Amino acid sequence: MKVLVINCGSSSLKYQLIDMENESVIAKGLCERIGIDGSMLTHQPVNKDKYVVEKDMPSHKEAIELVMSALTDAEHGVIKDTSEINAIGHRVLHGGMKFTQSIVVNEQVKEVIRECFDLGPLHNPANLMGIEACEAAMPGTPNVAVFDTTFGMSMPEKAYMYAIPHEYFEKYSIRRYGFHGTSHMFVSGETIKFAELDPENAKVIVCHLGNGASISASIGGKCVDTSMGLTPLEGLIMGTRSGDVDPAVVQFICNKENLTVNEVLNILNKKSGVLGMSGGVSSDFRDIEAAKEAGNHLAKVAMDAYIYRVVKYIGAYTAAMNGVDAIAFTAGLGENDKKTRKEICECLSYLGVKIDDEANDIRGQKRIISAADSKVKVVLLPTNEELAIARETVALV
């Protein structure tokens, strides 16, 4: 069975064709600058040369058509005909409270994705365009929506309700949803299998530390808490997002700088995090660490604060679950930065966490990195959201 996985952004479309017999990627690629001058497709078939097409893509419809012709191209393609694609799995950002799991797309599902435009204004419209473009290009092939928010749907009320007047929840569904859900679901599930934990009761904390960063607590693979909220702004310090701040900061900056709430939120989303804290060094953690090594005090404070926030959340989630069996690291920083993993783990000695330096000396590969006598297993587990989406798709079709 072959599954095409589609991840649409407002001006981009990423895809992977996966053979689910052995869960291997057959081809992947990216359409960039959709709706903007200079659009192009980069198609990478496995075991063949990269193929770049520069062609106008006024909308996601043309982008999907270009992907289909690349996949079936006589020279660069990997399938003879699009009928070889059995199903399409779409990453959809926000499913609101209606979807507690992935679902085969029909008109009602599309309507709910549309109703959630307010909650995911940058992503949901693009996600819907991707679905409709696939429906037009491959009529009859099932489309499955895999929501970034469904993992957080198992949170109990005490974890997802904000302490604000209840009418706002009733009127506007304002609550904590959590994001990176597909990654947290994949990594927590794989950690349970890989570390041979009890599938029903294992208490796992997943640290998804990328440019966007979030952390989740789950029991038996079901989310009980996660750090992102109504939007991805809440929680950990990120590359450019502030994570948790006192909301009064917004009002204060508005008044002092004569800015609107939207403008300050833009600052909290795009100009804060380690980029803002370091005085503008970079949003890339490699640059922050290099600046810190070179003696830049603000870069040091940014990195220290980043680690401190992760450590505080791990402590909070261990308390929330009354224990923890495994801590997993994933995403760009989590998979590649042994120093940060070690520094975080060293702050967790009170939990009996002991890192094995030799095992931790690795990048991007699944491995237990804690010492044999560590009370908590620490795991490096590369995330694979595309595979998780493909698995969900297969399960539903």
Q: What is the CA radius of gyration of the chain?
A: 21
- Report the nearest approach of ligand AMP to the CB of residue 357 (Å): 17
What does the CA dihedral 30, 35, 38, 44 come to, rounded to 10 degrees? 10
Report how far residue 305's alpha carbon sits from residue 237's, in angstroms, rounded to the nearest whole number: 8
Q: Judged by CB under 6 A, does residue 343 bind ligand AMP?
A: no
Task: Name residue 187's amino acid.
Answer: V
| 148 belongs to the catalytic site | yes
Report how far residue 227's alpha carbon sits from residue 220's, in angstroms, rounded to the nearest whole number: 18
Task: Name residue 180's amino acid.
Answer: H
Q: Judged by CB under 6 A, does residue 331 bind ligand AMP?
A: yes
- Of 336 and 374, CB closest to ligand AMP: 336
SS3 category, 40: strand
Catalytic residue among 19, 148, 198, 357: 148
- Report the nearest approach of ligand AMP to the CB of residue 59 (Å): 26
- Report the nearest approach of ligand AMP to the CB of residue 101 (Å): 25
* Tokens encoding 154: 């198992």
- Report the nearest approach of ligand AMP to the CB of residue 323 (Å): 28
Q: Judged by CB under 6 A, does residue 385 bind ligand AMP?
A: no
Q: Within the chain, how many helices (H) and strands (E) appear?
A: 15, 14
Q: Judged by CB under 6 A, does residue 337 bind ligand AMP?
A: yes
- Of 239 and 276, CB closest to ligand AMP: 239
- Of 76 and 338, CB closest to ligand AMP: 338
- Of 130 and 239, CB closest to ligand AMP: 239
Report how far residue 134's alpha carbon sits from residue 69's, in angstroms, rounded to the nearest whole number: 13
Q: Judged by CB under 6 A, does residue 332 bind ligand AMP?
A: yes
Q: Judged by CB under 6 A, does residue 286 bind ligand AMP?
A: yes
Q: Judged by CB under 6 A, does residue 313 bind ligand AMP?
A: no
- Residue 387's contacts (CB-CB under 8 Å, 6 or more residues apart) are 18, 23, 186
Report how far residue 335's alpha carbon sits from residue 142's, in angstroms, rounded to the nearest whole number: 34
Q: Give the range of 153-161, 256-264, 331-339, 385-393 binding ligand AMP by CB under 6 A.
A: 331-339
- Report the nearest approach of ligand AMP to the CB of residue 238 (Å): 9
Rounded (5°) CA angle 216-218-223: 80
CA-wise closest residue to 377 among 187, 194, 214, 182: 194
Q: Could you give the string, one character per residue 185-224, with x where binding to ligand AMP holds by CB under 6 A and - elsewhere?
A: -------------------------xxx------------
Q: Give the range of 91-99, 218-226, 307-315, 325-333 binding ligand AMP by CB under 6 A.
A: 325-333
What does each C-alpha distance from 209 to 91, 99, 306, 382 come to in angstroms?
20, 26, 10, 11
Annotated active-site positions, please? 148
Binding site for ligand AMP (CB under 6 A): 210-212, 239, 284-286, 331-333, 336-337
